[in-house]
């Protein structure tokens, strides 16, 4: 099992583009494994569009991998999305990590775009089949409820012959969906125990479907902050998380020092999770850059000592 630690953004905490690129350059130079952008189209808070970010990262970086966490397929055209992923993978020489999901029924996009939340599962399943086939087949003919294709093709196809397809979600339907289409799974706000249970369920469902997902293709994410839960930037973030998800923020935040963050990673590793997306809590260029710098300099070297197979800074 290969432990990998990446950094992600849930919003746009910078004053402008300069701060964002300073953050990207820091992660590229310091050996962070991957960068991740949360997907949101409709929002009152500033947040970047994920596929645009993927294309920008392909041009800015040379080493680091990057992915979207996760694209809600019900909001996007699957042929265009397949083409975007293939193009970005080609231009980045195979560094894209596509991740897809069903979308939170409480997300503002459903109402704003006039979409029926009860169709999100079927839309997602159709899109996953179309995208996976377009990546590997010369011509795709497909008749579904939401999409119709006649000898559709995209060239160039992805550089990665088996372009990863990470799937998000924790429902029984999401477990079946991951077992059928996914090459990996990434948790949302689940804690270590729940993530481990879902991982085992996916592995069993994949075997039943005649497939196998590699043991080290299971991931999780959480927010981190060097400081105190009472800090001005942390308390509102934890309250917003509780309101949005109904979950205890303790499952999705690691606040304290390097030991606190390593303990959370260790709990996930013990449950079988080996890929991580850590999101710095804070607003403003210097805060986010400072939090990220402390992570790569105080946590990643110790993580590399605990798990010698760690990808990233040693």
- Name, in order, each residue with C-beta under 8 angstroms of 174's C-beta and a sequence gap of 6 or more: 101, 102, 167, 168
- Name, in order, each residue with C-beta under 8 angstroms of 241's C-beta and a sequence gap of 6 or more: 189, 223, 247, 249, 252, 253
Average pLDDT, rounded, for the chain? 93
Q: What is the pLDDT of residue 288?
A: 98
pTM exceeding the 0.85 threshold for the entire prediction: yes
* Residue 79 belongs to domain spanning: 4-306
Cα distance between residue 47 and residue 291, in whole Å: 19
- Kindly state whether residue 185 falls inside one of the protein's structural domains: yes
Q: What is the pLDDT of residue 247?
A: 82
Vertex 299: Cα angle to 287 and 283 (nearest 5): 15
Split into its structural domains, the chain has a count of 1
pLDDT in tens, 11-60: 999 999 999 999 999 999 999 999 999 999 999 889 999 999 999 999 99
Task: Assess whether pLDDT exceeds 50 at residue 271.
Answer: yes
Give percent helix, percent strand, percent coil of the chain, each to the nearest 5. Answer: 45, 20, 35
pLDDT in tens, 187-223: 988 999 999 999 999 999 999 999 999 999 999 999 9
Cα distance between residue 19 and residue 31, in whole Å: 19
- Kindly state whether residue 312 falls inside one of the protein's structural domains: no
- Kindly state whether residue 212 falls inside one of the protein's structural domains: yes
- Kindly state whether residue 314 falls inside one of the protein's structural domains: no
- Kindly state whether residue 34 falls inside one of the protein's structural domains: yes
CATH number at residue 247: 3.20.20.30
- Kindly state whether residue 311 falls inside one of the protein's structural domains: no
pLDDT in tens, 239-252: 888 887 778 888 78
- Kindly state whether residue 313 falls inside one of the protein's structural domains: no
Please tell me what DSSP assigns to residue 173: H
- Kindly state whether residue 13 falls inside one of the protein's structural domains: yes
Cα distance between residue 251 and residue 127, in whole Å: 31
Please tell me what DSSP assigns to residue 93: T
């Amino acid at each position: 099992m290969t432990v990998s630690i990446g950094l992600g953004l849930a919003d746009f905490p910078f004053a402008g583009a300069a701060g964002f690129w300073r953050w990207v350059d820091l992660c590229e130079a310091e050996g962070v494994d991957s960068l991740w952008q949360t997907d949101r189209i409709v929002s009152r808070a500033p947040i970047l569009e994920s596929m645009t970010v993927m294309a920008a990262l392909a041009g800015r970086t040379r080493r680091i991998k990057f992915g979207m966490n996760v694209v809600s397929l019900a909001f996007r055209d699957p042929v265009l999305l397949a083409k975007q992923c293939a193009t970005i993978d080609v231009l980045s020489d195979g560094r894209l990590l596509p991740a897809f999901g069903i979308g939170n029924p409480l997300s503002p996009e459903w109402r704003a775009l006039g979409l029926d939340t009860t169709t999100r599962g079927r839309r997602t399943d159709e899109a996953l089949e179309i995208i996976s086939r377009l990546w590997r087949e010369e011509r795709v003919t497909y008749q579904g409820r939401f999409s119709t294709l006649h000898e559709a093709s995209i060239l160039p196809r992805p550089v990665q012959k088996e372009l990863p397809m990470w799937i998000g979600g924790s429902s029984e339907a999401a477990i079946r969906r991951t077992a059928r289409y996914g090459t990996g799974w990434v948790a949302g706000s689940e804690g270590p125990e729940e993530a481990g249970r879902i991982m085992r369920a996916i592995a069993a469902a994949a075997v039943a479907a005649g497939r196998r997902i590699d043991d080290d293709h299971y991931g999780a994410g959480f927010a981190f902050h060097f400081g105190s839960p009472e800090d001005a930037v942390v308390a509102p973030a934890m309250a917003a998380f509780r309101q949005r998800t109904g979950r205890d923020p303790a499952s999705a935040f690691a606040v304290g020092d390097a030991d606190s963050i390593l303990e959370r990673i260790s709990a996930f590793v013990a449950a079988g999770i080996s890929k991580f997306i850590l999101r710095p809590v804070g607003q403003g260029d210097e805060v986010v850059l400072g939090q990220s710098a402390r992570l790569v300099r105080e946590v990643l070297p110790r993580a590399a000592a605990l798990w010698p197979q760690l990808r990233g800074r040693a």
